[in-house]
Structures are given as structure tokens and as C-alpha cells.
Structure 1
Amino acid sequence: MKSKNSFLIIIILIFLDISVSFSNDYFIKKVEITGNKRIPSSFITNITNKYFNKKITDEEINLITKDLYKSDFFDDITVKVDNDTLQIEVIETPIINEIYFFGNSFFTEEQLKDIVKINKRDTFSKNKLNNAIERIKLQYSKTGRKFAKVEVSKKELSQSRVDLLFEITEGELVKVNNINFFGNKVFSNDKLKTVIKTKESKFYRLFGSSVFKEENIILDKNLLKRFYNRRGFIDFKVLSYKRELLPDYTGYNLNIILNEGNPFVINDILFQNELSNISKKALLNQVEFKKGDIFDERALQESIKNINNFFEKDGFTFIKLNYEILNKDNKNSKFDLKFIISEAVKSYVRRINITGNTRTLDKVLRRELLVLEGDPFNGQKLKDSLNALRRLGYFKSVNVEILKTETPGVVDVEIKVIEDLTGSFSFGIGYDSVEKTSFTIGLNEKNFLGKGLKTRISIQSSEKSTKFNLGITEPFFQDTPLSLSGDIFDQEIEVGDKDIEKQGFDIGFGFNYYDYINRFGYRYVSSKTTTDDTFTGTSISGEEGIEIETSLLNYSISSNNTDSFLNPTEGVKKSLKMSMAGVGGDAKFLKTEASFKQFIPFNYGDYIFSYGTKLGTITSLDDEKITSSNRFYFNSNSIRGFDSNGIGPRDNGNDNGVGGNNFYTGQVEVKSRKLIPGDLGIDISVFSDIGSLWDTDYPTNVKGVNDSSPRASAGVAIYWNTAVGPLSFIWGWPISEENYDKDNNFKFSIGTSF
């Protein structure tokens, strides 16, 4: 027994001796540092000072090494003790002196510097460099250059500095050769190809839609799901989305495997309403489908929106609306749909964050918001705010996300915008029997300097006229809801044997009152009409050989709740404008114009129906007659299918239009992008216009003076958003006209943006 205990004691002592031998203590009196060229020794001694003149262990020496590595200033560190001296030998991490890029053409040098996230005077590290290479490859991959290569070399300099040289081989765009669908029985391959974002390479696809992009995989899956869900296929799934690289590395074949399922119908519509005693019939009136209809995801979302609006109008600001599918019968492909309506927890807005506006100042967006930080959350006001941002015309997209916070009943609103080109250069070509060939050039900037300033300049020239206009509008002067605007203009117009010269300016201010914009302004116009030696006209304009000054006070009121500045799909625009001449000047009259236009989406936005009207009248305020420069005139867009000045009173001698004191127009139009399958971005519209222009205070030798009979036309138009700008082609044909009217069956224009 004693021998066993003795043996155990010996073993323990041996291990204790070993442990002691691996835990040496050192007394440090001196520190020696070698290898540092750029980093001062004081930086290192700041880390070692706490160990000076005291005993330290191997573990503490290890901590010194770790602390020095954490500084990111050293590639290699050796720390050891020689008697009472702590010896530290370092190899410094190089500092990046310059970054150079070679072989890049798609991305600029500045863009690549943003991508690599490495800056001059950063410390060099292999991890940073590898991450930079991967980021460059990723960005090229997003543009369709899947096989871009990046090689980096280092040029060593003095003082532990290096230059980084990125050699980029961008590679060719990798396109999609074929798209194959499997498992689809109801819809053909050709039909499904029109649904997804990715397209097959074709000669007419010039703008990149046939380039393979990784980011489109998720989008394609979502587009297919949406397509099938809108047609009742609630069990639809994309089982596989695989790409197959061609042997020559020039492109991919895509193989997409689907499980379509069956289209389901709605067996019954149920409500669980915990808010009020509203009848089921009233709620059913808000639903966009009925029993026996094939389920459509669009109809469901539209119904949810209608029910929300219905309760908000009834005074329920905070509501919670959910739905669930009940009694799903897979055999007969039907189910019951139940809406659950309850009171939501009242929420308040803590913070509104706006992201994506790299150019537009934050205040320009915030002044359009109807919901402010600290306000009760209101879904309708938020929707109206988003539409107001879209109407600015500054953004490709405006989206919102409501974020919960750590405090119950308090939310953050995250508004995400993607900025669009706000400047536009327009170039138009037209032809009609009066103006002959005409050219229009215009420069407009809706968001000058990102401050919301609107600037404009236009020049129109033809055989019969030259028009110049320059203007600017500040919509929020000194950050107040007061707008200021000013324009100057100069026009020379040849009407038959008459030359009309006009110069003037227009200034004004405006403000919002509820949903209406009120504007007060002043306009001054000096006009002079002369006739040449070959004058063939027989009518009188009231301005022959004299200069007439017109001084006008203007007032207008307008509203616009549409969802887009350029391409509205829903909402109403309306305006009323009155001008009174007589505050100085030679003319005295009251001129009134009104307009209204509504946009109505149907078939869930696939088609946009619009209708509108314009009215105008001018009345003398004394015995003076209304002269030609103050009358109304039609252009070729007033009633498509007719010339500029092609409708209304006309000179018996030279057959030129002389304008009129009264007019009206009406237009109906249906526009859709669905009429031409594919991704060309072409809208087709069919339209019909009606209107008339009549009455003049100088009726001698004028035909059609009192003829207010309606003229009508019908036609088609093509609007194509191309890489060089929007193109429009308009064909119109009169269906009701007088024998002295002038037709114009075709008009073309083109513009571009910047």
C-alpha cells in the first residue's frame, strides 16, 4: 500500500515539474524592437509598458503578440525573452499607396474603387484583396459577364508601401440560348417565355434582356408563381431552375421544371367581422370575385384594398385584415375563402427613413409626405404620400416597408426609392399641311441640383413658325409651401400671308390648399401682325400693322392624385384657369379654361382606360373685339387625325385657320402593354377624340364662324420606350368633319433622357 502511495506522489511531482517548466516567469527590464520602418516604436511600447519592470509569463507574452496582430499593422511578429530583455521583431504590413485598374471598359475607375472598398493609405491584407476580387467578379456577373477574370499584382515601394494593380478581363456577355420548360401542361413554352424576365437571345433584343443574370433567377420564379396564382393555380411550384453552360462558354440553356397543379375555384366567401355590424352584402360589394369564380391573386389583393378603404372611410383607421383558405377540396379543386377583420393595435410612427435618394435632397421627399414622425399611422395617408412621390417623376420606383420596433404600437416607416433620369432632351418631327415639316427641341430638368427645381427650355422650328421658351419653377420657395415660377418667350408665326411676332414673360406664385394647387400670376404679351406684299387673305385679325400689348392677371386651381407623372394608371387630373386682361395694356377680356382627365385600370392593370375633356371660352369686357392672338387654336394633339389649326373658322382667301373664341374637346383611350407579347416595352392604344372650335369677332370673309358641330376621329398609337428615348407613332382618321377642315393622319416624335 505504501509503495503504491509513494508511486502516486512521484507521478504527481513529475507532472508538477512539467507544468512549472511550461509556465516560465520572466522579469522584464528592457524592450528591444526591430523591423519597424513606418510604425514608431512608441506604438509598440504602449502595448508592452504594463509589463515593464515586472514578472511576466508565457501567456502574457502570447497576449502581447495577439494585441500587436490586432492592430493590423504587422504581417509577422516574433516575441521572445533573452534574460531580462523583451525582444520584439516585426514585419510591417504594407500601406496601399495607389490603386490602378487596367482592362476595364464597362465600369469606370471610380466605380471600381467603390466596388473594391479598398482605399489609399489602407493597410494591405490578403483577406481584403480576396474580398475585393470577389466583389469585382460579382458586379460583372450581375451585368451578364459571368466569366470576368481579375488578377492583382503588387508593386513594392519604399517605406513599406505598395501599389495594387488590378488587371481585369471583362469577358463577353453570357446570353441565354434556349429556355426549356418541363411539367407544363396548361400553358405552352412560348407563353411562359413571355412571363419571365430572362429572355432568349434574338436579333431584335438589343438592350440586354437576353443576358443571363443571377439576380433574375428569383425574379423569374416569382413571376411564374404570380402568373399561375392569377389563374387559380394555388399549388403551383417551381421544382427546379437549372442552367446548362454551352460547350463554347458563350451562353446557357435554361431548364425550368414546374408543377402546375390544378386551377381552384372559390366555393364560398366568408367574413369574420369584429369591428361593426356592417352587413355581409355590403362587404361582398367590396370583393372583386364571386362564388364559382376561378381564384385570382390580383382579385384577392384588390378586394383587400377595397375592404381596407371601406372601413377607413367608415372611421376605422386601425384595422387588421387577414384571410385564410378553408375546406380545401383537392379532388374537386375548390375551397372557401374567409376574410378576418379585426381592430389592430393603434400604431404611431417613430421614425421615417428614406433610402436610395443619392441625388435628391431628403427634404425634397419629406415635404411631400402626409404622414410625419410622431403621427398616428394611417395607411391611406401613406399611400397618398407614395403616390405624391411617384408623381414627382424623379424615381423609377417608390416602395415602403413598415418595420416593428421594440416598443409595442410604434413603427418605423422605411421608404425606398430608386432614382431615375430627371432631365430630358426631346426631339420631335412632325408634318402637317400648315406647318409642313416641323422640328421641336426641348431641354427639361424636373429636379435641378436635386432640389426639386424645374427648369425648361424649348425651341420649335418649322417652315411656318419659330418658338422659344425659357422658364424655371421653385415648388417650395425658402422651404415654404409657396411656389414661384417665371418664363420668358419669343414667337414668330407665319399664318398664310401674315407674320405674327410675340414676346413676353410670365411670373407667378402658388400654394396648396388641401389637395388643390392654387396659382396666381401675371403675364405680359406684346404682339404685332404684319402682312406681306403677296397677302391673299380676306379676313381681318384685328391686329394688322399695329402692336398690341396684353396685360393679364391669372388664377388657376388644379389637383392631381394620379399614381405617376409620366404614365398614370389610376387617378384624376383636373384644373380650372381664368385670365383677366385689362390691368394696363390694350386688350380687355376674360378667358376661362377647364380640363378633366381620369385614368381607370381594369383587368388588374393590364389595360388603362382614360377619358377627359377640355373647355374654353373668351369674352370681351368692353366693346373691344377679341383679336387673333388671344383666340384659341387647336394643335395636332387636340383632335388626333386633324392638322394644327385644321378645325375651326377659316379664311376664305388663303384657307388658313383663324382661331375661335370657344372650344371643347373630349378624348377616350385604352392603352395596354399586353397587346404585344414580349419585353419590348411597347404600349398600344386605341382612341377616339371629339371636339369643336368656333366663333370670332371678325366674321367677314371667314367660313365656319358659328359652326360648333362636333368633329370626331379615331385611331391607334404606339408608344415605345427605347434605349434612345421614348418613341411615339400616332395614326388618326377623321370620322366626322366639315369640308373645309384639314386632316393629318400621322405624327411621329422621339425624345431622350439624361
Structure 2
Amino acid sequence: MAFFEGASSAAGTSAVKTLKGLASCSGLAIFLAISGVAVTTPLPVQAQAYSFNKVEIEGTQRIEAATILSYLGIAQGEVVSAAQLNDGYQRLVGSGLFEDVQIIPRGNVLVVKVREYPTINVVSVEGNRKVKDDVFEPLLKSQPRQVFSPATAEQDVQTIVEVYQAQGRLAARVTPKIIRRSNNRVDLVFEVIEGKNTEVERLSFVGNRKYSDARLRRVLETKQAGILRAIIQRDSYVPDRIEFDKQVLKDFYLSRGYVDFKTTGVTSEFSRERDAFFITFQVQEGQQFKFGKITTVSEVDGVNADEFHAAQNIKSGNVFSPAQLDNAIARLERLAIRKGLDFIRVEPRVTRDERNQLLDIELVLTRGPRIIVERIDIEGNATTLDRVVRDQFRIVEGDPFNPREIREASERVRALGFFADAQVEARPGSGPDQVVIDVDVEEAPTGSLSLGGVYSLENGFGLNLAFTERNFLGRGQFLSASFQNSSDSLNFSFKFAEPAFLGRDLEFGFETFYQSTDQASADYNTRSLAFRPSLAFPINEYSRLGLRVFAEGTELLTTENLKSDLILKEAARGRQIGGGVGFSYSYDTRRTGLDPNRGLLFQLNGDIGGVGADYQYARATALAQAQTKVWNDQVTLLATVEGGMLKSLNGANSRVTDRFRLGPSKLRGFATNGIGPRDFSSVTADDSSGDTVGGNMFAVARLEAQFPLGLPEEYGISGGVFVDAGTLWGLDDTLGGQIDDSAHLRSSIGASVFWETPIGPLRFNYSKVLAKENYDEENNFELTISAQF
């Protein structure tokens, strides 16, 4: 017969109970029959007793008779009551081994008739289009070659429903059915009606005064349904996501000094059409607090509090930030470790000044409990080596236990990006003064193969093919290979990095790349090849230093149309192969800084190269970028200053392959190679612009503001305005003054539209040039979009 035929998941549960109830009815009838015999007996004060000389078992196929007798619990010749007989029957039914059970007394013979549950032949899910079969396979408990169980099948129904609910398909229905086969086998089929996504039609807030609904909606993971509702999945209603959003809201306000913020409630109303939700977050912001008086005291004999106070970096008057307070505590505890002071803890004691909305912080140095780390146990890492996880801990077995260090190590393990989940907890060890650190991880995919398309007015259409593995062979190593091709360039690169070289916080890496360019605005082409091994290490929490050596080769190829005397001279020098050394320094607080509204990036690169070639040089580039958010985080201001210098070390002249060139990525409003010194010896009647030859120095400044356009934020569309200024100048050989290599200032203004599309980020720029030279080439429109699939 069909199992649960035509039933929903709820009806399926009833069907399971009905199936079990039918078997119970058989037992009940037998029990009543036995009771009936007892009633007619002339000894009403004594319960009926039975003794069976033989037990016959009928209907078994796979299950041994001894198994049935053990559940029945009746020995040959034993005197049993009607109640004991019924108890045995109930044990057989409760074993879950039989689809039907009957117990029939025949004189001194007890007949037990059973019908075993069939064996599952095939388990399949049908009707599923949005969720693939491989998602369900590891979740279903009903498996082929196992005995069919209605209870297990019903659990699988609920599992499938929960998978769809996690995607916002609350109307999904699942009906389990069985198809009878020969030899007591069945096919178990879960028929799915997926239904449509239950969307979030409106996402609103009540009680927010400091930040608008639009700003808070950008914080949440849940999004409103918009024009891209068929593609964007975050506009589906997922109850678990609401709880996550409540925590995200709290973190957002706490990081901005609202220490009393709380979400008082969340209401989710179903639309009349029952296809969408209206979600309202009820919040209580409270007042914004700032850091007040910061003091440091010591409760440990021999510890100078003033020395520790100088190490904390909290400034009175700054907006209170839990991250900044945690950072200060971590600084002090690390200082204690460096001074050889074990078991020192820093306890923050906060005093509220309600009138002035200040939080006075007293950092108290105390002696913590003397607890030692007994061992670190790591579980769940089937691919990733233990040492990769252990490298994220600053402590080892035998070190003093520091709860803060354990929390920070937990964050570092999660930040690796190798695991879908990582839990780090401490539990009591083998002694009262020892703890065991348990690290339970769930591995996630770390490799990707991407095929993408790129388009820009600067480089035209292009193709990207890239392979990336962030946890190569489970060693935490980074490996990537990429191929990029556009209308005027061809690039291939290979990179490898070992982040824990020699077991230290030292990154060893190397990269090699090949680049070929077909200059769209000049009559020459270039080829270059380089190999660069490097070492990098942190200087402090924001700074990093890298050292490298490199070998490189460049080739300048001319065409029959080339007329430039300077390029012809440089091409005549032939292929150049040389080597050198360099360094990179970076200071970045944009993502790890203490102020969520501000960030600073500074990069400095220097190279000395050309050893072995006819031109030795020193090259330096620098970039400084600052960003901040104003008007309640509605507007992002970004300022960038960038420059570079190339200097000859042996008196030889640079080539165009060595010099800097500017394009719209650095100076908007101008074409690639559109500005800078030009060789007008190549001027012809058909082309009076001359060949661009690059420059030994450049400097640019970019100011930009990004802001919402008033459109629903789920569309991902925002706007911006910008102003750029810069120049490119300087040559070693000006052909006796024929080439103007002066630092003429160029500038432009413009507007931008940003669109975070499902296929990649799109940016459209319109630029208006304010200052330029007559020979400069403009690029007023710029469209850039990239996609991966």
C-alpha cells in the first residue's frame, strides 16, 4: 500500500500514528479476548494465568526467532498473566522492527505472527528544483539497504522542510511515499512542492532617532524585496536571520557609544496574500557616551601602574568603543607577558557619569588564578593540519591560561576563512589548576575556479580565468594562478604564499608574471617577465613590512609605423634583463581600526633594480588614503594622494618600459597614456598627437564623496562626486629639448553611479576635464563591470 499517500508533512505524522495504531488494535483485541475468558471463569478473584509449552513464530525473513523471543520475554513453560502477555506484545511493537504484530494463544501454543518492515531500495527527492539532491543526501537518515522506519521517514520530512524554510520558502510541502518492490523492498520517495520565496516586503524601525531607517537597513543581513527579488536571496524571510540581525544592530550601536542600546522587540506580520512579511524592529537607542577619565591602578605588589598606563591608547573625549577598550586591555596584558609577569589580568571598572554622558574607566591590574594550559585539543579538521590552527594561538601547553588570549585566538581561527564554524572553549583539565582548550571546527571549501568577463572603456572587453586555493593541502598556504586577456593586453600570474614560514609569524611567498601590451595610443608594444620571492611580517597590529628580491626582463617592440626618435633609440638597446631588491610597508586601519567611521591606509614601496642590465635605477611609490563617514554614516568621504619617482643610478637613461604612465584608474577624465610627455617627432599629417613616452615622476590627488541616492537600499545603487588633479613629468632624454617634460597640472570633476549587481560591481563615471594640455587625450565616460560564474 502507499505510505502517507496524498498527505502533507503534518498529515504524514498522523499516518505514522495510524499505522502504529492499527497494530495496537490487534494487541488490544487479543487482550480483550483474554480478559473475556477471565471474566467467564468461576474464580473472579484470581487473574487468568497461562503456560505455553511452545512458541511458534511466523512471518520472519531477516530477523532471528531468538530476537523475537527476547523482546517477548516469555520462557517455555513459564506461567504468565494476561498483563505480562500484553507487555511482551508492546515490546515487540516498540522495537520498531515490525510493520504488524499479532499474538494468538492456541491452547498451550503461543503463535506470534509478524510482518517485518521492508528494506529500503532507493531514497529519492522529487520535485526539487531550487535545492539540489546533493544538499539533501548527507541530511537524510533514511538510507538504502536499511530497514524502513516511518518515524525516521517523518524526521526526514521535517529536515527537508527546514532546508526550504532556511531559504525563505515557508510554503514548501513534502509528502513521503513508498513504492512496493519484490522481496519485501520499497522505494522511499519524498515528493516536494517548493512554493515561492516568502519575501520581506518592508523592513522598518521604531524608536530610532540618531540613525535613519535607510542607514540601519544597510547594517542588517535581511534586505527588503526589490526589483532584483528573483536573484537576491537576502530578501527572503528567514527567522534565524532575524536573531542575527538583532545582534548586528547591537554591535553597530555599541561601536558608536550607545551602551544602553537594546532591541525591545521584533514584529513579523504576514501579508494578506500570505506571500510576504512586514518586519519591524523596535529599538531603544539610549544616549551616546564618551570616554571620560582613564586611570590605571595596580593591586599587584611590585608592578608600576604608571608604566602600564603609558601603554594604553584610550583618549578621553573619544566616543566609547568596546573594541578600543578591549584593545587597551590586550596591550596591557601583552606588556605584562613581555615583562615576565604571569597570571596578570586587567579588569576594567566602569563608572558612569550620566550628567556629562561619560564613562570613566579604571584599568585594574590584578593577580589572576594560577591556571596552566594542560593541552589544546583540535577536532573537526579533516583536511587542515593541526599546526595551522595551533599557529593562531599565542600560547602552548604549559603556558599560563589567559581567557582574553583564548578569545583572540578564537577570532584568529575564524578569520582564517578555512572553516564554516569554529568554536574555542576551555574546560577543566586533569587537575584543579589546569584547563584544556577545545577547538571544534567545521571545514568549509577554500578553493575556487572562476571564469569572468571584464569590460571598461580603458581596456575594452576582457576574459579572466583564475584558480585560487587559500588552504593548499591543508597547510594554510595560498596558491593562485590567473589569466587575463583584453583587447590590448595579456597577463598571466602565479602566486604562492606560506603564512607561517619556519613556524613563525613570517610569510614567505613568490610570484611570477608575464605581461604583454599592445599600446592603443602608441606605435610600440611591450613584453615583460618577472620572478619575485619575498618575506613579510607584522611590525605591530596595523603595520606590515615586506622584503623581496626580483629578477625581471623587458622588451620593447616597435612597429613599422613608429616615428618617435626617443622610442627608436630605446628599442635599439634590445632586451633588458636584470635583478634587484625591494621593500613594501603598509599601515592600514580601515578594517582593524578602533573607530568604525574612520580609516587610514598608507603604503610605501621601494626598489633598486636593473642589476645586470644597462640601466640601474631606484624606484619609489607612495600612497596615502583616508576615509571617514559623516552625516550619521550617510556620506563617505575619501581622500587619496599618490606619487612615484624613478631615478637613474648609473647615469643611463630610462626606457618607456621603466617609466610611469597614468590612466583613468589614477586620474579620471583622461585616457590611458593620455597625459604626460610626448615625442612630437612622430607627428604626421594623419596623426598630430605624437607618441606618449611616460614620465619619471607622477603625483595625483583624488577627493571623492559617496552617498545614497534615495533609492531603496536593496537595489544596491548609490552615487558619488569626485575631483581629481595630477601630473606626469620628467625624462632623462628630451632629445635636446624637443620633448616637453614639464609638470603641467591636469584636473577634472565628475559624478559616479555605483551598482552592486548580482553579477559583479558596476561603476559608471562621467568626467569633465578642467585643465589639460592641447595634446592630452580625454576619456569622459567610463564603465567598469566584472563578473564571476
Distance 2:524 2:377 in 1: 57
**Which among 667, 671, 685 is matched to residue 639 of structure 1?**
667
- When residues 667 and 187 of structure 1 are mapped into structure 2, their CA distance, relative to the original with a 3 A threshold, is closer
- When residues 695 and 541 of structure 1 are mapped into structure 2, their CA distance, relative to the original with a 3 A threshold, is farther
- When residues 365 and 239 of structure 1 are mapped into structure 2, their CA distance, relative to the original with a 3 A threshold, is same
- Aligned pair 1:109/2:133, yes or no? yes
Distance 2:723 2:452 in 1: 26
Letter of the structure 1 residue corresponding to residue 729 of structure 2: W
Q: Which residue of 1 aligns with 2:686?
A: none
Q: CA deviation at 1:105?
A: 0.8
Letter of the structure 2 residue corresponding to residue 439 of structure 1: F
Alignment of 1:276-295 (within 5 A): 278=305, 286-287=313-314, 290=317
Q: Give the root-mean-square deviation of aligned CA atoms.
A: 5.0
Letter of the structure 2 residue corresponding to residue 300 of structure 1: S
Mapped contact 2:389–2:413 kept (Cα < 8 A)? no
Q: Which residue of 2 aligns with 1:135?
A: 159
Structure 2 SS opposite 1:628: coil
Letter of the structure 2 residue corresponding to residue 245 of structure 1: F
Q: CA deviation at 1:427?
A: 3.1
- When residues 70 and 106 of structure 1 are mapped into structure 2, their CA distance, relative to the original with a 3 A threshold, is same
- When residues 388 and 483 of structure 1 are mapped into structure 2, their CA distance, relative to the original with a 3 A threshold, is farther
Q: Which residue of 1 aligns with 2:184?
A: 160
Mapped contact 1:569–1:605 kept (Cα < 8 A)? no
Structure 2 SS opposite 1:127: helix
- When residues 145 and 334 of structure 1 are mapped into structure 2, their CA distance, relative to the original with a 3 A threshold, is same
Distance 1:189 1:685 in 2: 21
Q: Which residue of 2 aligns with 1:369?
A: 392
Q: Which residue of 2 aligns with 1:100?
A: 124
- Aligned pair 1:630/2:655, yes or no? no
Q: Which residue of 2 aligns with 1:12?
A: none
- When residues 70 and 729 of structure 1 are mapped into structure 2, their CA distance, relative to the original with a 3 A threshold, is same
- Aligned pair 1:662/2:662, yes or no? no
Q: CA deviation at 1:446?
A: 2.9
Q: CA deviation at 1:551?
A: 3.7
- When residues 530 and 324 of structure 1 are mapped into structure 2, their CA distance, relative to the original with a 3 A threshold, is closer
Q: What is the percent sequence identity of the aligned residues?
A: 19
**Which among 440, 448, 466 is matched to residue 462 of structure 2?**
440
Letter of the structure 2 residue corresponding to residue 662 of structure 1: N
- Unmatched segments (≥5 aa) in structure 2: 1-42, 540-544, 684-688
Mapped contact 2:446–2:470 kept (Cα < 8 A)? no
- When residues 48 and 108 of structure 1 are mapped into structure 2, their CA distance, relative to the original with a 3 A threshold, is closer
Alignment of 1:79-478 (within 5 A): 88-178=112-202, 197-203=221-227, 207-222=232-247, 238-254=263-279, 258=282, 260=284, 263=287, 273-274=297-298, 278=305, 286-287=313-314, 290=317, 299-312=320-333, 314-315=335-336, 318-324=344-350, 339=362, 341-343=364-366, 344-345=368-369, 350-351=375-376, 353=378, 361=384, 366=389, 369=392, 371=394, 373-374=396-397, 377=402, 390=415, 402-407=424-429, 410=435, 411-412=437-438, 422-431=448-457, 438-447=460-469, 451=473, 452-462=477-487, 465-473=488-496, 475=498
Distance 2:644 2:371 in 1: 46
Q: CA deviation at 1:489?
A: 2.6
- When residues 650 and 111 of structure 1 are mapped into structure 2, their CA distance, relative to the original with a 3 A threshold, is same
- When residues 251 and 101 of structure 1 are mapped into structure 2, their CA distance, relative to the original with a 3 A threshold, is same
Q: Which residue of 1 aligns with 2:552?
A: 523
Q: CA deviation at 1:149?
A: 1.1
Distance 2:547 2:522 in 1: 40
Q: CA deviation at 1:170?
A: 1.0
- When residues 195 and 83 of structure 1 are mapped into structure 2, their CA distance, relative to the original with a 3 A threshold, is same
Distance 2:155 2:722 in 1: 56
Letter of the structure 2 residue corresponding to residue 627 of structure 1: R
Mapped contact 2:501–2:508 kept (Cα < 8 A)? no
Letter of the structure 2 residue corresponding to residue 73 of structure 1: L
TM-score by length of 1: 0.75
Distance 1:285 1:448 in 2: 35
- When residues 735 and 63 of structure 1 are mapped into structure 2, their CA distance, relative to the original with a 3 A threshold, is farther
TM-score by length of 2: 0.73
Distance 1:738 1:88 in 2: 104
Mapped contact 2:526–2:657 kept (Cα < 8 A)? no
Mapped contact 1:262–1:333 kept (Cα < 8 A)? no
Structure 2 SS opposite 1:371: coil
**Which among 544, 550, 566 is matched to residue 577 of structure 2?**
550
Q: CA deviation at 1:650?
A: 0.9
Mapped contact 1:271–1:338 kept (Cα < 8 A)? yes
Structure 1 SS opposite 2:237: coil
Mapped contact 1:648–1:658 kept (Cα < 8 A)? yes
- When residues 702 and 186 of structure 1 are mapped into structure 2, their CA distance, relative to the original with a 3 A threshold, is closer
Mapped contact 2:725–2:747 kept (Cα < 8 A)? yes
- Aligned pair 1:510/2:534, yes or no? yes
Q: CA deviation at 1:145?
A: 1.5
Mapped contact 2:392–2:412 kept (Cα < 8 A)? no
Structure 1 SS opposite 2:779: coil
Mapped contact 2:485–2:491 kept (Cα < 8 A)? yes
Q: CA deviation at 1:208?
A: 3.7
Structure 2 SS opposite 1:629: coil
Alignment of 1:717-732 (within 5 A): 719-731=754-766
Q: CA deviation at 1:172?
A: 1.6
Structure 2 SS opposite 1:140: helix
Letter of the structure 1 residue corresponding to residue 236 of structure 2: V
Count of matched residue positions in the alignment of Structure 1 and Structure 2: 707
Distance 1:542 1:388 in 2: 56
Q: Once structures 1 and 2 are overlaid, which stretch shifts more, 194-203 or 439-448?
A: 194-203
Q: CA deviation at 1:155?
A: 0.7
Mapped contact 1:728–1:750 kept (Cα < 8 A)? yes
Q: Once structures 1 and 2 are overlaid, which stretch shifts more, 715-724 or 176-185?
A: 176-185
